[in-house]
C-alpha cells in the first residue's frame, strides 16, 4: 500500500454456501458465529455470482425477465489474521457492490446492512478486529436476493470487488478528494482540489496537505501544499495550474493523476491517488452536445451490467472487451442502465474515451417487482445517490447524472418530493454536471401544471425512451430550457444469423420450440419500439437533439422480448449478442457512426435453395457499392449525398420508406421525412436469384475500391477452428482470454447451420464460461460443453498461476479437433482460490414422435398440437403484429412453411393424412410437397396422389411411392401469400408406417 495506507484485496479464500435458492426462508443458521463450521462450504473467489452457476429453471421464483436463473439466500465467510503492525490503525472493509440486501458481520457482530445491490459501502471494523498476528478474524456476509427483485438479470452475491483499507488515525476520508477543472484553455488549466481529512486520534493535529499532479508519463506538472488544523474533519481547497494541458477527449482520452499526501509532525501519514482528466463540456437545448468546445453527437448505447457467461461477477477484462467492441461500432457514450456502475466500468470508459450518463435507480418508492429497491427507497435513496456521485465524480468520462429510468412515481404528485430528495443529494456532492431522467412518459406533451410537467422544471435535460420524431419536435418547442436526447432508442429485436421477410417493416415471431428467433433485417419490432434506421435518422437530422443511446449495445441475460417462455433467457435487443459476436445492427450503426470505409452484406450467409430470390442489403459508409456473384456484376447501387438543414452531410437513398405513419402529407406520406424534405433508407438493396458460390460487395469512393465484403456458400462441416483474442495473458489466475470456436468446411468457411455439441478442455488455466449468443437455450453458462449456434461458440478461459502456456482444445463428433495456445506471463499478484470444476452438459432427450416446423405464428399454435388428436388445437403459421406508434397492424400470410414429424427410428412411409383448417384467417395450401429424411438427405416423394378434403379439419390424404426414413416433412405453399386469409393451419397430422 501507499505510505501510511494499506489496501488488501479480499478476493481469495472465501467460503460460500447457498442456504435457500428461494430466499424466502428465515435464516436459522449461525453462520455469523466465528466458530461456525464452514469446512463443507465451497471455496470461492470474489467477485462471485452464484446465480450464473445454476442451471436455468422455472423453479425458485425465476422468470424470463431474469433469465430463469435462481437467486436465494447465501452466506460468505472469510477468515484472516491481521499483523501487529495494524494495531492502532483505522481498519475498514469496503464492498463495491453486493446484490442484494447484504448484512455484514465481523467476529460475530453485525456491523452493517446495505440493501441496494449497485452502490458501494464501507464499514468501520477498528474496534472489532484482532491485530495480534495470530487470532483469526471472521467476516460473514449474508446476501438475500429473493425473486423477483429486478426486471433483468441481476446476479447474486459479492459480485464486485471487496477490500480492507488500513490507515493512520489521520487520513484522507473515503472518496475524500473532489477534483474539478473550472477554467481550461489551450495555454493552461486550473485544477481545483477539495480534500477531506479525517482525524480519529482524539486530539487536534496540524496537518500538511500536499497536492501533486502527474501526467500520464509520470511527470510532475503541478504541485502545491498548505496546512490545516484538524480536530475531527476538515476540508482543504487547493488550486493548481497545469500548463498546456492535454485534454481528455473521445480520440485522445488523456488522464492525469492527483497524489495527495498528508503529513503530521514531518511524517507522511497517508498518500491517496485520484485519477482525473481535464476537459470541458456543455449541453445546450438549441446547439446540442459539445466536448472541449467541439460539437459532437452522443453516439451511445445502453448496457445492463451482466457479462454474458460470467454473469454479474465483475471482470475488467470482460468489461474492456465489451466496451472495445462498442467503440469499434462508433460508440462514444454509455448510459449505465439502470443503476450505478462498477469502478472497473468507469475506468474502462475513461481509458477508451467514452462519456457516461450515470443512472441511479430503476424505481423509487413504487416498485416494479415485489422485492425490488422500492422497499428501501425512503430510507436509503439519499445515501445511495450520494455514494453513486462520490464514486464517479472525479471521472472525466462522467457528464450527466440520471435520477431514474421509467420511474412510475416520476409523473405522480408524490414523486415531486422524491425527486427533490435525490436531486438535493446529487447536487450536494457535485454541482458541475446536469441532471436528467430517462422516461417513457413524454410521448405526448404533458398537461400544464401536471406532475409530469412540474417534474421537468427540476431537471436540466430529458431522456426520451422511444419517441416519434414529431413528439420530439413538440417537446423541443414546449420546453425550450431542456436539452433533449434519446435515452433509449430503437429496441429492434434480432437473432444473429436469422432473416425473415425483408419486404415487411415488421414481422411476426417464430414460436416453434428450438426455433424461437427474430429477424435481423431490422424488422422485428414490439409495440413501443422502432427500427434502428428510424432511430438514427430522427437523431441525425436535429442538431439540437443531443444524441441517442441505442437499446441496447449488447444482448443481456433476461428480458427476452418478444418471448416469455422457458428456455428463452436472453434479450434480443443488442447490436452484439451475449457471446460478443456482432449482429447486423452493429454494422448498421458502424456504417453511420464511423469514418473508416466499410461495407457489410446481409444475410451473412450464402446458403439458400436453388431458385430462391434473396434480398441482399449492404450497410456501408461509402456512397457506391457494386455486387458480384461468381465474378458477374449484379449492378451498382449508390447513396445520394444529402445535407441536414444545418449543413451536415450524410448518405441515404431517396425513396419512400413507409416507416412513419404520422407523416400524412408532404412528398413522402407514410414515411419519415427529414426537415430538409427528403426521405430514404440507410442500406442499399439487390434482389438476387440464388446461385451457389461467392457473393462479393465492392465499395468504391471516387472510383477507387476502399472496402469489400465476401460471402461464400459452404459445404459439409469439417473441422473446428479456435481463435483466441490475444497472444499472451498474465498468469495471475484471474485474467481472461476469449476464444472463438467456429465450425468450418474444408475451405475454412464458417458453416451457418452447424449446431454441433462442442466440448472444451483447458490446460494451464481453467474454463470461466461458455456461450454461443443464442437467446433460446437451457444450457448452463458454466459448463464444459456448448452447442454451436450458427456455426459459432465462445469459450472464456481463465489463466492459471504459473507462467508457460495456456492450451485450449475443442472437440465435437465428426469434426477435426483444434487446439489454441496463449502464452502465460509471470504475474506478481496471483489467485490462491482453486478454479471451480465444470461438468459437461447434455442436451435433454427428445420424445418421439416429435413435431417441428419452420415457423409457428403464435405461442399456442405449436407443431406438437398437430399430433395431440384434438382438432380444436393445431399448428399454424398465422401471426398478427399489433400497430406501433409508427406502423400499422400487420398480419400478411407467409409464402411458404414446413411442418415435420420425427419418429426417432427408420420406417417406411407411403402416405400422410393431414387436416387443414379453413376459416377467415386460414386457407388450404396451394401446394404440398412431401420429403422424407433418410439419415443423410431429404428425399422428395414421387408418384404423389392427393385426395383433398372437402371440409375444414377433414383429412387430406397424400399417397406416394414408399420411402424409408425417420422423419417426414410437408412443405406448404400459401394460396394467398401476403393476405390476412392466407395462413395455413394443421389441426391433425398423421404419417402411419407403410
- Sheet of strand 288-291, all strands in order from the earlier edge strand to the far edge: 281-284, 288-291, 294-295
> At 760, which helix (H) or strand (E)?
strand 757-763
Does 177 map to a domain?
yes
Q: Name the DSSP letter for residue 89.
A: S
Answer yes or no: 533 catalytic: no
Q: Give yes or no for a contact between 700 and 706, defined as CB atoms under 8 angstroms apart.
A: yes
Does 380 map to a domain?
yes
- Our separate counts of H helices and E strands in the chain read 8, 54
Q: In the prediction, which pLDDT does 837 show?
A: 77
Q: Of 347, 359, 488, 501, which is the active-site residue?
A: 488
Owning domain of residue 952? 850-990
User: 698 with 741, same domain?
Assistant: no
CATH of the domain at 332: 3.20.20.80
CATH of the domain at 119: 2.60.120.260
For residue 559 the three cell numbers come to 428480458
Answer yes or no: 208 catalytic: no
The burial of 394, by beta-carbon neighbours within 10 Å (0-12 exposed, 13-18 middle, 19 or more buried), is given as buried
User: 331 with 459, same domain?
Assistant: yes
Separation of alpha carbons 545 and 644, rounded Å: 13
Burial 763-772 (b: 16+ CB within 10 A, else e): ebbbbbbbbb
Q: Give yes or no for a contact between 879 and 989, defined as CB atoms under 8 angstroms apart.
A: no
Does 498 map to a domain?
no
User: 188 with 249, same domain?
Assistant: yes
User: 772 with 884, same domain?
Assistant: no
Q: In the prediction, which pLDDT does 3 show?
A: 64
| 979 backbone φψ class: left, alpha, beta (φ>0; ψ -120 to 50) | beta
Q: How far is CA 408 from the centre of its chain?
A: 24
Q: Give yes or no for a contact between 143 and 73, defined as CB atoms under 8 angstroms apart.
A: yes
Closest C-alpha to 782, from 836, 863, 819? 836
The burial of 944, by beta-carbon neighbours within 10 Å (0-12 exposed, 13-18 middle, 19 or more buried), is given as middle
Out of 276, 298, 325, a domain closes at 276
Does 500 map to a domain?
no
Sign for the CA dihedral angle at 170, 175, 178, 179 comes to positive
User: 813 with 860, same domain?
Assistant: no
> How many domains does the chain fold into?
6
Separation of alpha carbons 893 and 68, rounded Å: 33
Out of 276, 307, 329, a domain closes at 276
Does 463 map to a domain?
yes
User: 701 with 735, same domain?
Assistant: no
Does 692 map to a domain?
yes
- For the chain, the helix, strand and coil percentages under 3-state DSSP, each to the nearest 5: 10, 40, 50
Which stretches of the chain score pLDDT less than 70? 1-3
Please enumerate in sequence order all residues whose Cβ is within 8 A of that of 405, keeping only pairs 6 or more positions apart, or say none.
337, 338, 359, 361, 362, 437, 438, 439, 465, 487
User: 192 with 230, same domain?
Assistant: yes
For residue 464 the three cell numbers come to 426520451
Does 845 map to a domain?
no
User: 163 with 174, same domain?
Assistant: no
Q: How far is CA 619 from the centre of its chain?
A: 23
User: 697 with 790, same domain?
Assistant: no
CATH of the domain at 786: 2.60.40.10
Out of 276, 297, 324, a domain closes at 276
Q: Give yes or no for a contact between 520 and 499, defined as CB atoms under 8 angstroms apart.
A: yes
Does 112 map to a domain?
yes
User: 896 with 816, same domain?
Assistant: no
Cα pseudo-dihedral 947, 950, 952, 956, rounded to 10: -10
Q: Of 347, 359, 387, 406, which is the active-site residue?
A: 406
User: 978 with 898, same domain?
Assistant: yes
User: 296 with 328, same domain?
Assistant: yes
Amino acid at each position: 500500500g501507499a505510505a501510511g495506507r494499506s489496501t488488501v484485496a479480499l478476493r481469495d479464500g472465501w467460503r460460500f454456501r447457498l442456504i435457500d435458492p428461494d430466499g424466502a426462508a428465515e435464516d436459522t443458521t449461525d453462520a455469523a458465529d466465528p466458530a461456525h463450521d464452514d469446512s463443507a462450504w465451497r471455496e470461492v473467489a470474489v467477485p462471485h455470482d452464484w446465480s450464473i452457476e445454476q442451471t436455468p429453471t422455472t423453479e425458485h421464483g425465476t422468470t424470463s425477465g431474469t433469465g430463469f436463473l435462481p437467486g436465494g439466500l447465501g452466506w460468505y465467510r472469510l477468515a484472516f489474521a491481521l499483523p501487529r503492525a495494524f494495531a492502532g490503525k483505522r481498519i475498514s472493509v469496503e464492498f463495491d457492490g453486493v446484490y442484494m440486501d447484504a448484512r455484514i458481520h465481523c467476529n460475530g457482530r453485525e456491523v452493517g446492512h446495505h440493501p441496494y445491490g449497485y452502490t458501494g459501502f464501507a464499514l468501520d471494523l477498528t474496534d472489532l478486529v484482532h491485530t495480534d498476528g495470530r487470532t483469526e478474524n471472521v467476516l460473514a456476509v449474508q446476501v438475500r436476493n429473493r425473486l423477483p427483485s429486478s426486471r433483468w438479470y441481476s446476479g447474486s452475491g459479492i459480485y464486485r470487488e471487496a477490500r480492507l483499507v488500513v490507515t493512520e488515525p489521520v487520513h484522507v476520508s473515503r472518496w475524500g478528494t473532489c477534483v474539478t477543472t473550472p477554467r481550461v484553455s489551450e495555454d493552461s488549466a486550473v485544477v481545483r482540489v477539495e480534500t477531506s481529512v479525517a482525524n480519529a486520534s482524539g486530539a487536534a493535529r496540524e496537518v500538511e496537505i500536499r497536492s501533486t499532479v502527474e501526467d500520464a508519463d509520470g511527470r510532475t506538472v503541478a504541485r502545491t501544499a498548505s496546512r490545516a488544523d484538524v480536530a475531527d474533519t476538515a476540508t482543504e481547497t487547493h488550486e493548481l495550474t497545469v500548463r498546456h494541458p492535454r485534454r481528455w477527449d473521445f480520440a485522445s482520452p488523456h488522464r492525469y493523476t492527483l497524489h495527495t499526501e498528508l503529513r503530521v509532525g514531518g511524517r507522511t501519514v497517508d498518500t491517496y491517488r485520484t485519477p482525473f482528466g481535464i476537459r470541458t463540456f456543455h449541453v445546450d437545448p438549441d446547439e446540442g452536445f459539445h466536448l472541449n468546445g467541439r460539437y459532437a453527437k452522443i453516439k451511445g448505447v445502453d448496457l445492463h451490467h451482466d457479462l454474458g457467461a460470467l454473469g454479474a461477477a465483475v471482470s475488467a477484462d470482460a468489461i474492456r472487451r465489451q466496451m472495445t467492441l462498442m467503440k469499434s461500432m462508433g460508440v462514444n457514450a454509455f448510459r449505465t442502465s439502470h443503476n450505478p456502475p462498477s469502478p472497473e466500468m468507469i475506468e474502462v470508459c475513461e481509458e477508451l474515451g467514452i462519456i457516461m450518463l450515470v443512472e441511479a435507480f430503476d424505481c423509487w418508492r413504487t416498485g416494479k417487482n415485489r422485492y425490488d429497491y422500492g422497499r428501501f427507497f425512503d430510507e436509503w435513496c439519499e445515501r445511495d445517490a450520494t455514494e453513486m456521485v462520490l464514486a464517479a465524480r472525479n471521472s472525466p468520462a462522467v457528464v450527466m447524472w440520471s435520477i431514474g429510468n421509467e420511474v412510475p412515481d416520476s409523473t405522480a404528485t408524490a414523486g415531486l418530493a422524491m425527486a427533490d430528495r435525490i436531486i438535493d443529494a446529487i447536487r450536494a456532492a457535485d454541482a458541475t454536471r446536469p441532471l436528467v431522467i430517462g422516461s417513457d412518459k413524454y410521448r405526448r406533451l404533458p398537461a400544464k401544471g401536471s406532475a409530469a410537467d412540474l417534474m421537468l422544471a427540476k431537471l436540466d435535460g430529458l431522456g426520451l425512451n422511444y419517441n416519434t420524431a414529431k413528439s420530439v419536435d413538440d417537446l423541443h418547442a414546449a420546453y425550450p430550457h431542456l436539452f433533449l436526447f434519446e435515452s433509449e432508442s430503437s429496441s429492434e429485436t434480432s437473432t444473429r444469423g436469422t432473416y425473415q421477410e425483408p419486404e415487411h417493416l415488421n414481422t411476426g415471431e417464430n414460436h416453434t420450440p428450438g426455433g424461437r428467433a427474430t429477424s435481423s433485417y431490422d424488422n422485428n419490432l414490439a409495440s413501443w419500439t422502432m427500427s434502428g434506421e428510424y432511430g438514427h435518422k430522427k437523431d441525425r437530422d436535429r442538431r439540437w437533439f443531443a444524441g441517442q443511446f441505442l437499446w441496447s449495445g449488447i444482448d443481456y441475460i433476461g428480458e427476452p422480448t418478444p418471448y416469455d417462455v422457458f428456455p428463452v433467457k436472453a434479450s434480443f435487443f443488442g447490436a452484439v449478442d451475449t457471446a460478443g459476436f456482432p449482429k447486423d445492427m452493429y454494422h448498421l450503426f458502424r456504417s453511420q457512426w464511423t469514418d473508416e470505409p466499410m461495407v457489410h452484406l446481409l444475410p451473412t450467409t450464402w446458403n439458400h435453395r436453388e431458385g430462391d430470390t434473396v434480398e441482399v442489403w449492404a450497410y456501408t459508409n461509402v456512397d457506391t457499392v457494386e455486387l458480384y456473384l461468381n465474378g458477374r456484376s449484379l449492378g451498382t447501387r449508390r447513396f445520394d449525398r444529402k445535407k441536414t438543414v444545418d449543413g451536415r452531410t450524410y448518405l441515404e437513398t431517396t425513396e419512400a420508406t413507409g416507416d412513419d405513419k404520422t407523416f400524412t402529407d408532404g412528398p413522402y406520406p407514410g414515411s419519415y421525412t427529414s426537415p430538409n424534405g427528403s426521405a430514404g433508407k440507410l442500406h442499399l438493396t439487390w434482389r438476387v436469384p440464388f446461385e451457389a458460390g461467392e457473393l462479393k460487395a465492392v465499395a468504391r469512393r471516387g472510383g477507387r475500391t476502399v472496402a469489400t465484403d465476401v460471402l461464400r456458400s459452404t459445404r459439409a462441416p469439417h473441422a473446428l477452428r479456435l481463435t483466441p483474442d490475444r497472444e499472451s495473458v498474465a498468469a495471475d489466475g484471474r485474467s481472461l482470454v476469449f476464444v472463438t470456436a467456429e465450425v468450418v468446411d474444408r475451405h475454412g468457411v464458417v458453416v451457418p447451420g452447424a449446431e454441433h455439441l462442442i466440448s472444451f478442455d483447458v490446460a494451464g488455466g481453467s474454463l470461466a464460461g461458455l456461450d454461443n449468443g443464442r437467446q433460446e437455450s437451457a444450457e448452463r453458462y458454466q459448463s464444459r460443453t456448448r452447442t454451436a449456434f450458427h456455426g459459432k461458440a465462445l469459450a472464456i478461459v481463465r489463466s492459471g498461476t504459473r507462467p508457460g502456456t495456456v492450451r485450449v482444445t475443442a472437440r465435437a463428433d465428426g469434426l477435426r479437433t483444434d487446439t489454441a495456445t496463449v502464452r502465460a506471463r509471470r504475474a506478481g499478484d496471483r489467485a490462491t482460490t482453486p478454479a471451480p470444476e465444470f461438468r459437461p452438459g447434455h442436451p435433454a432427450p427428445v420424445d418421439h414422435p416429435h413435431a417441428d416446423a419452420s415457423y409457428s405464428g403464435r405461442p399456442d399454435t405449436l407443431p406438437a398440437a398437430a399430433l395431440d388428436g384434438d382438432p380444436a388445437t393445431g399448428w399454424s403459421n398465422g401471426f398478427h403484429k399489433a400497430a406501433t406508434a409508427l406502423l400499422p397492424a400487420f398480419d400478411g400470410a407467409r409464402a411458404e412453411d414446413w411442418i415435420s414429424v420425427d419418429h426417432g427410428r427408420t420406417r417406411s412411409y407411403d402416405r400422410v393424412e393431414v387436416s387443414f383448417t379453413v376459416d377467415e384467417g386460414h386457407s388450404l395450401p396451394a401446394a404440398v410437397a412431401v420429403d422424407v429424411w433418410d439419415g443423410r438427405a431429404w428425399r422428395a416423394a414421387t408418384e404423389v396422389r392427393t385426395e383433398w378434403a372437402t371440409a375444414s379439419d377433414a383429412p387430406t390424404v397424400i399417397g406416394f411411392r414408399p420411402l424409408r426414413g425417420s422423419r417426414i416433412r410437408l412443405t406448404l405453399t400459401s394460396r394467398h401469400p401476403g393476405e390476412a386469409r392466407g395462413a395455413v393451419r394443421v389441426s391433425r397430422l398423421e404419417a402411419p408406417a407403410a
